[in-house]
């Protein structure tokens, strides 16, 4: 079941695909496409130039680019050179970029002309170590550094067990950590999940709307594409309108996404009266919990399987996955990946909880991170005897189907009773007039905490009384939202996770706390 042939050094994968599919398009964006032969050439040449510009073994290369073919080339070149790729969100602020440069010890940064001033202002990167992909006239531009030279380029094969990526956590708590991942850990997820379960292969053309700087996209939309010899169109950023147009072309066979993307696409298709997924055989959702109602509605409307699973950066993405063509448990994120060990424990005692009881999910396997960069205390707290403690609450049924029920730190404790925000959100989001929803706990003088619902409304927004009435038919009384806030958009990370602390601060700073 696990495709061990797909786990190999990047150098070997590039040689393999260049030989087997030299003229096949590997990656494409709105400005250019690249074949597997040219991908191997550009990656090898840029890797050689990174070394020539002083990148030592294990040295970090910052990738501060928008989603693009250039992003893929730069990231693969950093790994191919024996370095460490450090993706940075292109819309990251100066302080966020500075933090990553300093924390990861970035020696070279690949970016665009519009970021040159910000890089210079930081003063943390030597100007000669700045590579600008859109600077055609500079010796540090892609035009000079990527084309294959006449001379043979001598590069050692990269070691798949060395740290090759530092991916920063989404920072839902406001403190991002650099997760150290290896090529083996990332490709193991492809070998155990994307290839055998999701069914990605060389005949697939993938549409990717995901932000590449997140581990989910870096794994699925970059490394796994190369390992499987597939073709992918990379969207610079998700746009419902653009995604509808691209899907309508009939080119694409599979698509990854996060729940909100599928939600917005379903609304747009309903409004347009079309089925943009007519050529798509299967979709996958990860990064955030997929509401069962959304999953069912999507599959019924389009006749396309939407498989969902549970994954986190610290496990190189996936931990569980629902299988195609198999019975699924409503609300479940599926079964543990083959070869992966999981337990559900009592956080207080560390002992396994009885079947069906809620506890913390812990994971052990080849996909678990090496640790957090420069954070030994946080690493020791998260990794204990080889088990990664996820901080996520879960329960398992008699057939080992897992359901994620919340976060240890996100639980709302109202008068001593625990409330999972996800459960309340899944209840409210199906209401008429609700486009999106997030629930957070806010301070209360007598109860400690109470749940508050933030919603993005359709044309006609429900009021707090109608939400309370709707929830009272479906939830215990203590879970019913105490208050309602209409908001233009729910703040989310690129992987779809709700940034709850921002909503809590918004509520309390507005003086709405009780």
pLDDT of residue 313: 92
Query: For 221, which DSSP code?
Result: I
Share of the chain above pLDDT 70, in %: 96
In angstroms, the CA 213 to CA 167 distance is: 7
Largest CA distance in the chain: 75
Answer with the residue of higher pLDDT: 45 or 409: 45
Whether residue 345 is predicted with pLDDT greater than 60 in this model: the reply is: yes
pLDDT class of 93 with cuts at 50, 70, 90: confident
360 is a domain residue = no
The pLDDT tens digits for 487-509 are 999 998 776 788 888 898 889 88
Q: Please tell me what DSSP assigns to residue 241.
A: H
**What b-and-e string marks burial along 406-429, b requiring 16 or more CB atoms within 10 Å of the CB?**
bbeebbbebeeeebbbbbbbbbbb
**Residue 119 falls inside a structural domain:** yes
The values of phi and psi at residue 480, to 5°, are -70, 135
Q: How far apart (Å, rounded) are the C-alpha atoms in residues 486 and 472?
A: 20
* Strands 33-35 and 254-257, sheet pairing: unpaired
337 burial level (CB within 10 Å; 0-12, 13-18, 19+):
buried
Instruction: Annotate 90-144 with DSSP letters as a single string.
Output: TT--HHHHHHHHHHHTEEEEEE-GGGHHHHHHH--S-GGGEEETT-TTSTTBHHH
- Give the HSE-up count for residue 362: Cα atoms under 13 Å, Cβ half-sphere: 19
Distance CA 445, CA 452 (A): 15
Residue 338 lies in a domain: no
Per the structure, the complete domain to which residue 185 belongs is given by 4-198
pLDDT confidence band for 172 (50 / 70 / 90): very low
Given a cut of 80, whether residue 198 has pLDDT beyond it is yes
Residue 371 buriedness (CB in 10 A; 0-12 / 13-18 / 19+): buried
What's the whole-number mean pLDDT along residues 208-222? 96
Q: What is the DSSP letter of 189?
A: H
Q: What is the CATH number of the domain that holds 187?
A: 3.40.50.980
The residues, any chain, with a CB within 8 Å of residue 49's CB and separated by 6 or more, are 145
d(CA 256, CA 262): 9
Number of domains in the chain: 2
Q: Which residue has the tokens 């599959």?
A: 299
pLDDT of residue 151: 46
Contact, 26 vs 34, CB < 8 A?
yes
Select from 198, 216, 237 the last residue of a domain: 198
Cα angle 297, 301, 304; round to 5: 95
DSSP letters, 373-406, are TT-HHHHHHHEETTEEEEEEEEEE-TT--EEEEE
Residue 316 counted as domain residue: no
Which residue, 198, 224, 256, sits at the end of a domain?
198
312 located within any domain: no
Q: Is 193 a member of any domain?
A: yes
Q: How far is CA 155 from CA 11, 48, 51, 106, 152, in A?
A: 9, 7, 10, 21, 10
Q: Phi and psi (nearest 5°) for 492?
A: -135, 155
Of the CA atoms within 13 Å of residue 336, those in its CB half-sphere come to 20
Q: What pLDDT is attached to residue 153?
A: 58
pLDDT at 291: 82
pLDDT tens, residue by residue, 248-278: 999 999 999 988 899 999 999 999 999 999 9
Q: How is residue 31 written in tokens?
A: 């400005």
Cβ neighbors of 376 (< 8 A, separation 6 or more) are none
pLDDT grade for 288, boundaries at 50, 70 and 90 = confident
Report whether pLDDT(230) > 70.
Answer: yes
3-class SS of residue 477: helix
Beta bridge partners of 335: 321
CATH code at position 422: 3.30.300.30
Q: Find tokens 């990527």 and name the residue.
A: 146
Q: What is the pTM of this model?
A: 0.83
Better-predicted residue by pLDDT, 339 or 415: 339
pLDDT higher than threshold 60 for residue 182: yes
Q: Which residues contact 358 (CB under 8 A, 6 or more apart)?
A: 344, 393, 394, 395, 405
Separation between Cα atoms, residue 84 and residue 164, nearest integer Å? 4
Structural domain ending residue among the three candidates 198, 221, 255: 198
Q: Which two tokens stand for residue 344?
A: 């559900």
What one-character-per-residue DSSP string does 5-51 give? GG---HHHHHHHHHHHSTTSEEEE-SS-EEEHHHHHHHHHHHHHHHH
Given this model, what pLDDT does residue 512 score?
A: 60
Alpha carbon distance 197, 206 (integer Å): 16
């Amino acid at each position: 079941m696990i495709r061990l042939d797909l786990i190999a050094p990047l150098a070997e994968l590039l040689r393999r695909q260049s030989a087997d599919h030299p003229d096949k398009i590997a990656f494409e964006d709105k400005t250019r496409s690249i074949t597997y032969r040219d991908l191997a050439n550009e990656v090898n040449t840029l890797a050689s130039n990174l070394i020539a510009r002083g990148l030592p073994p294990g040295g970090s290369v910052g990738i501060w680019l928008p989603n693009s073919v250039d992003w893929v080339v730069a990231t693969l070149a950093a790994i191919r050179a024996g370095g460490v790729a450090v993706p940075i969100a292109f819309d990251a602020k100066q302080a966020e970029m500075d933090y990553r440069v300093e924390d990861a010890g970035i020696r070279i940064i690949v970016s665009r002309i519009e970021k040159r001033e910000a890089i210079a202002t930081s003063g943390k990167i030597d100007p000669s170590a700045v590579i600008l992909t859109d600077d055609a006239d500079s010796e540090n531009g892609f035009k000079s550094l990527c084309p294959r030279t006449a001379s043979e380029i001598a590069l050692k094969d990269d070691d798949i067990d060395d740290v090759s990526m530092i991916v920063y956590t989404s920072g839902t708590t406001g403190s991002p950590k650099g997760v150290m991942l290896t090529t083996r850990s990332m490709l193991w997820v492809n070998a155990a999940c994307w290839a055998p379960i999701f069914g990605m292969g060389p005949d697939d053309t993938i549409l990717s709307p995901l932000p590449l700087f997140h581990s989910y996209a870096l794994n699925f939309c970059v490394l796994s594409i190369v390992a499987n010899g597939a073709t992918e169109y990379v969207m610079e950023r998700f746009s419902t309108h653009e995604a509808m147009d691209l899907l309508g072309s009939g080119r694409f066979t599979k698509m990854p996404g996060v729940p909100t993307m599928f939600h917005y696409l379903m609304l747009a298709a309903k409004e347009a009266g079309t089925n943009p997924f007519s050529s798509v055989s299967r979709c996958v959702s990860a990064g955030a919990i997929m509401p069962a109602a959304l999953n069912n509605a999507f599959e019924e409307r389009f006749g396309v399987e939407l498989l969902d699973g549970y994954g986190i950066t610290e496990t190189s993405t996936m931990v569980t996955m629902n299988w195609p063509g198999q019975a699924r448990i409503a609300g479940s994120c599926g079964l543990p990946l083959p070869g992966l060990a999981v337990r559900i424990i009592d956080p207080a005692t560390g002992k396994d909880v009885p079947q069906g009881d809620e506890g913390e999910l812990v994971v052990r396997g080849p996909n678990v991170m090496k640790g957090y960069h420069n954070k030994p205390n946080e690493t020791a707290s998260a990794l204990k005897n080889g088990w990664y403690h996820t901080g996520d609450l879960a329960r398992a049924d008699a057939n080992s189907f897992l359901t994620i029920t919340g976060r240890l730190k996100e639980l709302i404790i109202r008068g001593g009773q625990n409330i999972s925000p996800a459960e309340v959100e899944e209840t409210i989001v199906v209401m008429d007039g609700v486009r999106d929803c997030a629930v957070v706990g806010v301070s209360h003088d007598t109860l400690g905490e109470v749940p508050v619902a933030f919603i993005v409304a359709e044309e006609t927004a429900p009021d707090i009384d109608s939400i309370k009435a709707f929830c009272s038919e479906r939830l215990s009384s203590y879970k019913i939202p105490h208050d309602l806030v209409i908001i233009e958009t729910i703040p989310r990370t690129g992987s779809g996770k709700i940034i709850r602390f921002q909503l809590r601060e918004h509520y309390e700073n507005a003086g709405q706390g009780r």
